[in-house]
C-alpha cells in the first residue's frame, strides 16, 4: 500500500540517536553509526522523530510500504525495549546510598602521595539506575553529566561534582528517554538548580535536550545552565 513513512538521509545523519529516543514505536535503531528503520510496519508515519533530529536527516515521504502493525510494534517493545523499573538480581548498583564525605582527605596509607578525594555524594549515579524517590534529591543542586565528561575534564570533582547530586548518562548509547525520568524527579522534589555537563560532539546534545524537556513537562522554573567540554579537556566558550 502507498502511505507516509520516514526517510533517513544517511549523509546528513550524525548518529546522535536522538530520533531513537523520540520514536515511541521503537521503529529506529543505529546501524553502523547511522539511524535506520527497523521495519516499515513499525513506523506510523507521524514523524515524532523529526523535531529531535539536529541535522534534518529525517523527512516524511509517501511511497509503497508495509502497513503499520500496532500489534507487531507492541510485541517488539515488549521483547526488546521494555526496561523494568528495578533490577531483580539484587545488584548493589541499584541500591540507593547517601555518601557522607569528610571535610578533609583521610591520611594516605602505604602510598607516597594522598589521593585526590572524591566529591560524589550519592550512589548510584547512572540516570537509568537512580531511584526517583531518594531523599538526597530534596533541596539538591543537580549535576547532569554526559559520562565522557568525567574522563575528558580532569578537575570534574572539585569544579562540578562538589556539593551536587550527580547523574550521568550517554544519550547515544542508552536506549532510554531521559526526559521521562527527569520529569518525575523534578515533580517529586524541590531542586535548587541544574548544571548540564556535555561534550562538544553533536550526539551529546541529547542530554541537554532531555533536561530542557523535563523542565518544560514538569512546569519547574529553576536556574539551569549548560557547560560544554571540548574533546581535549577544556571548557568551551559559548
Cα angle 152-157-161, degrees, rounded to a multiple of 5: 110
36: exposed, middle or buried (C-beta count within 10 Å: 0-12, 13-18, 19+)? middle
CA distance 141 to 227: 15
**Nearest C-alpha neighbor of 153 from the set 231, 225, 49:** 231
What's the pLDDT score for residue 86?
40
pLDDT number for residue 103: 55
- What does the pLDDT look like over 6-61, one tens digit per residue? 999 988 888 877 888 788 888 998 887 788 999 999 999 988 888 888 888 999 99
Amino acid at each position: 500500500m502507498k502511505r507516509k513513512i520516514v526517510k533517513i538521509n544517511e549523509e546528513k545523519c550524525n548518529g546522535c540517536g536522538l530520533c531513537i529516543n523520540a520514536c515511541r514505536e521503537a521503529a529506529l535503531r543505529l546501524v553502523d553509526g547511522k539511524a535506520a528503520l527497523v521495519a516499515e510496519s513499525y513506523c506510523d508515519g507521524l514523524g515524532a522523530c523529526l523535531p529531535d533530529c539536529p541535522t534534518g536527516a529525517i523527512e516524511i515521504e509517501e511511497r509503497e510500504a508495509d502497513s503499520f502493525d500496532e500489534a507487531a510494534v507492541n510485541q517488539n517493545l515488549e521483547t526488546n525495549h521494555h526496561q523494568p523499573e528495578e533490577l531483580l538480581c539484587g545488584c548493589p548498583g541499584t541500591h540507593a546510598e547517601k555518601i557522607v564525605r569528610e571535610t578533609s582527605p583521610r591520611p594516605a596509607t602505604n602510598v607516597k602521595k594522598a589521593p585526590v578525594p572524591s566529591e560524589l555524594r550519592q550512589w548510584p549515579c547512572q540516570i537509568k539506575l537512580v531511584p526517583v524517590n531518594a531523599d538526597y534529591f530534596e533541596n539538591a543542586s543537580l549535576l547532569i553529566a554526559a559520562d565522557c565528561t568525567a574522563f575528558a575534564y580532569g578537575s570534574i570533582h572539585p569544579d562540578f561534582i562538589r556539593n551536587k547530586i550527580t547523574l550521568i548518562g550517554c544519550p547515544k548509547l542508552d536506549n532510554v528517554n531521559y526526559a521521562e525520568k527527569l520529569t518525575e524527579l523534578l515533580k517529586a522534589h524541590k531542586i535548587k538548580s541544574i548544571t548540564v555537563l556535555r561534550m562538544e560532539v553533536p550526539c551529546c546534545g541529547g542530554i541537554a535536550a532531555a533536561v530542557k524537556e523535563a523542565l518544560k513537562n514538569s512546569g519547574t522554573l529553576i536556574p539551569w545552565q549548560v557547560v560544554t567540554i571540548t574533546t581535549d579537556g577544556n571548557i568551551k566558550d559559548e
